[in-house]
Structure 1
Amino acid sequence: MVIWRFEAIGTRWEVETDTDLPAPTRTAVAALIDDFDRTWSRFRDDSAVARLARDGGRLASADAGPMLDAYRELAAVTGGAVNPLIGDSLAALGYDARYSLVAGEAVPAPVDWEQALRWTRDGATLQAPATIDVGALGKGRLVDLVLAALGDIPGGVVVDAGGDLAVRGRPVRVGLEHPFDTTRAIGVATIRDQALCASATNRRAWGDGLHHVLDARTGRPVATWAATWAIASDAMTADALATALFFDGGPALAARWGVEWVRMSTDGRAQRSSACPVELFTPAPQR
């Protein structure tokens, strides 16, 4: 087993393979990640998203269609709680491009985001300046792209981007980190040729009750659920569901998309889907 570790898009990556990756493959993966970040990051001044936040206009990307199509479904099932124009809401609470972490008044995201943001399979257009944030599923999309770029690598492959991971060719056991004590796990998942993505309010948290999982309708952090985990055939789908599970419509969407899941409430209760391949250490009702 060979592990390639590196930092990118503000998180730690680990790519596990049976043999060492050739230098041209590593270079290609690094370029793929940088291209995605240069398009979709709201944290770099030279990104296409930063340009649209200043001036509006169009960005070209083959990722726009798949990601924004998924956002449309997420918005519908959560009653508008998930919204790709949440960027200005996050910035208002201090999670801005400079990581100021100084909170102002909560700002709801635009409810008419589908009129403000239009997209095709190869790009997106903003009619007026606004900040796109694809954090609800973008890292999962990038994990899928990296795994696809390693399609010619023989044997097992694991791509792990800060807890969002995709596995090919061998079974992997993954601990589900307890959101209130990072030295513990609430259970263990076993996956093969699947993806597992997690989201938790203890990650990217600051101030008094402030964290990165916001309800777009209010611009305020969610308060009912503390952590979610979703298992799907691809990482973008798992990442999207891990976000949706913070809201009431999440389980229904998971059932429709064939995604298994676990979530823990802020008072320590665990829920899971009936066929979820997870051994929970915390007793949970079947849902």
Structure 2
Amino acid sequence: MAIWQFDAIGTRWEIETTAELTAESRAAVSAEIERFDREWSRFRSDSDVTRLGADGGALASADAGAMLDAYRELSRATGGAVNPLVARSLDALGYDAEYSLVAGAPRPAPEVWEERISWTDRIVQAPAPALLDVGALGKGRLVDLVVAALASVPGALVVDAGGDMRARGAQTRVALEHPYDSTKAIGVVTLADGALCASAINRRAWGDGLHHVLDARTGLPVRTWAATWALAPDAMRADAVATALFFDGGPELAAAWGVEWVRMSTDGRVERSPGCDAELFLAGVTDAPAPQN
């Protein structure tokens, strides 16, 4: 397999393909990443999201409907814990566009966020300033877009964006990194045609107990779960479920979407979905109860 590595959207990317990618294919990937980042990054002063946060108005993007429809389901499943207007909550704890990493008072996100913005398949509208953060599923969405940009490339491929990955035609064994010791794994999964996304409180962490996975209702970092992994046909839904699993309602959403998963608590307990075939190395793994109809 040929490997192309590069940095984008604040993470390391690795794309493995059967044959070396052409300059045209690499340019298509770079253009798609730049387009998505320019529209949705709250860390760029020139992005459409930043403008929407400052002035309100409209944001035109082909990703609007897919992502915000998924956010609606995420929010309802988790009782409002996942919310695309959590950006100001992250800012308040120091995870802002300047990466100040200086925490102030917690700031809950607007509870009725669906009254602050509206959207169609291709446009988000906000009558007043509304700063969005699509971190709960945005990287997964971008992985899917990169795979789509490489649709004409023959053979197998694996797109890995800092641990959020999608494979096509390639069987890949992937370690589930221990959230408290990056030299160890709690298990492995085999990824063929599908996606694996992970989230953990040791990633994008700063200060005492401060990390990027917030409960939008309180503006505070989560405390019960330390790491999550989700397997789905597409990376956006895997990414979304990996976020939802930090909250009550996450397993039910995963079942409704047909997503398998593993999660590890902050006290070391490991739980997985009934149909998950991950090979786990730890004793005392609990299978979550099957969802009730």
Aligned to 1:18: 18
Matched, 1:213 2:213: yes
Q: Secondary structure at the match of 2:101?
A: coil
Matched, 1:192 2:198: no
Q: Secondary structure at the match of 2:184?
A: strand
Structure 1, residues 237-275: CA drift from partner, whole Å, max 9, x if none?
000000000001000011111000000000000000121
Partner Cα separation in structure 1 for residue 117 and residue 89 of structure 2: 16
For 1:77-92, what aligned pairs fall within 5 Å after superposition?
77-92=77-92
Percent identity of the aligned residues?
69
Aligned to 1:226: 226
The two structures, once aligned, show a CA RMSD in angstroms of 0.6
Aligned to 2:155: 155
For 1:40-189, what aligned pairs fall within 5 Å after superposition?
40-189=40-189
Paired residue type of 2:175: G
> TM-score, with normalisation over the residues of structure 2?
0.97
> TM-score, with normalisation over the residues of structure 1?
0.99
CA deviation after TM superposition for structure 1 residue 107, in Å: 0.3
Partner Cα separation in structure 2 for residue 152 and residue 130 of structure 1: 38
CA deviation after TM superposition for structure 1 residue 282, in Å: 1.0
In structure 1, list runs of 5 or more residues that go unmatched: none
CA deviation after TM superposition for structure 1 residue 33, in Å: 0.2
Aligned to 1:272: 272
CA deviation after TM superposition for structure 1 residue 129, in Å: 1.0
Paired residue type of 2:287: Q
Partner Cα separation in structure 1 for residue 196 and residue 28 of structure 2: 24
Structure 1, residues 114-136: CA drift from partner, whole Å, max 9, x if none?
01011000010112112100000
Q: Secondary structure at the match of 2:276?
A: coil
Contact in 2 for aligned 1:191/1:277 (Cα 8 Å): no
Question: What is the count of residue pairs matched by the alignment?
Answer: 287
Partner Cα separation in structure 1 for residue 40 and residue 262 of structure 2: 28
Contact in 2 for aligned 1:88/1:130 (Cα 8 Å): no
Paired residue type of 2:143: V
Paired residue type of 1:29: V
Partner Cα separation in structure 2 for residue 10 and residue 126 of structure 1: 27
Paired residue type of 2:100: S
